[in-house]
Amino acid sequence: MKSTLGTISLWFLTTWFSPSLAQDRLFGKPFATRAVVMAQNGMACTSHPLSTQAAIDVLRAGGNAIDAAIAANAMEGVVEPHMNGIGGDLFAIVWDAKTKKLYGLNASGRSPYTLTLSELKSRGFTHIPAQGPLPVSVPGCVDGWFSLHKRFGKLPIERILSPAIRYAREGYPVHDEASWYWDNMIARFGKLPNVMSTYAPGGAAPSRGELFKNPALANTLEKIAKGGRDVFYKGEIAQTIDQFMKKSGGFLSAKDLADHTSDWVQPVSTRYRGYDVWELPPNGQGITVLQMLNLLEPYDFSKIPWGSPEHLHLFVEAKKVAFEDRAKYYADPAFAKIPVNRLISKEYAAERQKLIDPNRVASKIEAGNPALKDGDTIYLTVADGEGNMVSLIQSNYRGFGSGMVAEGLGFMFQNRGEMFSLIEGQNNTYAPHKRPFHTIIPAFVTKDGQPFLSFGVMGGSFQPLGHVQIVMNIVDFGMNPQEAGDAPRIDHQGSSEPTGEKMVDSGVISLESGFPYETIRALMGMGHKFGYTYGLYGGYQAIMFDAKNKVYHGASDSRKDGQAAGF
């Protein structure tokens, strides 16, 4: 009996507590935080549980994925105002089950007509400031909602916005991340008009777990629900914005708002090991992802382990090559000729790959010549029982945004105009009625013409790096969607930027904990430099579709306060 018990105990210790297993779980990678969520009738993955539940409620009420995504985004503007809201911009990729096609929406706003480059330079600026009225561009979010709804929606917009209106009016408990950002926002913007009355009516930022109400935002959303997009861009709200900006020394006007339109755009793709990865074309940075994947595809990652020096070195060097093109070419296509097809071609990648030394860091890289042969943010994803899927991202840019809050409206305006360059002659140089370079990017993956993965990784310039890591984690390293998001992440800072900054030496790598020290030591031997980045590794949500079993697999980033849920 003792021998048998000893054998069982030894089996228990060596099997259940094997280092290959995920801590005290029975399956998964060591870094996995939770299992994938599976459901067949609908799925929503957002960075806040109330937003996920708003989407699920709309799906259960007969709405489709587009309706539910709008509901979730509206709720996000209520419960995560530090990341997004109706003062910001929106991009989306929609998989329409009826036509079996992808549709892209660019709902980003343009700069004011009356603000000029010469005006900015006369004030002594070398960069557009991050706060105040000057970085404010037209908020595109609301028009984005109505553009999506007009083309694909089912339920009335009043029903879709009702959860956000209710929580804005009745209140919700402030979560951990929002509480942290809130304290910093009050210190930064507290003396600006209407900030305290809107976000700290009691005289201080709401603490973690405290109930917060935003009745002004509830009223604004209610007006939008009843009066449509025109009440925001041509009606009462537009007039309030116009008057506030004039009083604040700003340039955004009623005409800027009235002339705003969103654009339906064709998503672009590259094939990576049999998977078609889709992004939106500029003025966003999505094609950086495609350029990086093209540079990495020739390497055989079935023989290069995850987390190895070879893996990280090739990833970082590909990023540096692609980011130089990003800095030079990406901008509003209405103002600059951008050779998108050439930039994302395999032939161009083969030329640029020559810049990658497999054994040594590159300290200087220039942008290529692709024309030689060819003329703080939220992400959410929703899927429904009909097969529709939405990949949606929306942002105010830095934290809460510009610090500009119009009286009685309940939201802060974005500071996306900060992303313009003030250097004359560049693709992204400031001009009136021009869209700035944008960091927020939704993504989608298809396989054999069928939807495979709707995903995104919020986080400024980190987003292309996050997208590539997710694709590689799933395709190259065999991870499931939750593991792909939980895996420790790689960041690299120091590349050239569309705002005019130039590459700094070889840049600096920052790693989340979980990479072997041997890898870091080997990379240092190759010339890489390491630094520390706090909280800048993005936030990920994803829905994978299992076409064989007709089941959705949802994932939500453990770095955020979010939730993946289905039914």
Catalytic residues: 377
Nearest Cα neighbor of 51 from 164, 218, 181, 214 is: 164
Handedness of CA 338, 344, 345, 350 (dihedral sign): positive
Answer for the pair 370, 342: CB distance below 8 angstroms, yes or no.
yes
Q: State how far the Cα of 470 lies from the Cα of 467, in Å rounded to an integer.
A: 5
CA atoms within 13 A on the CB side of 279: 28
Residue 36 tokens read as 């994938």
Q: State how far the Cα of 81 lies from the Cα of 181, in Å rounded to an integer.
A: 9
| Coil, strand or helix at 540 | strand
Residue 8 tokens read as 């069982």
Dihedral in degrees, nearest 10, Cα atoms 235, 237, 238, 242: 140
Other beta carbons within 10 angstroms of residue 558's beta carbon come to 16
Nearest Cα neighbor of 504 from 531, 464, 468 is: 531
Identify the helix (H) or strand (E) that includes residue 552.
strand 551-556
Query: How far apart, in Å, do the first and last CA atoms of the chain sit?
Result: 48
Answer for the pair 320, 495: CB distance below 8 angstroms, yes or no.
yes
Angle between helices 287-296 and 309-329 (to 10 degrees): 140
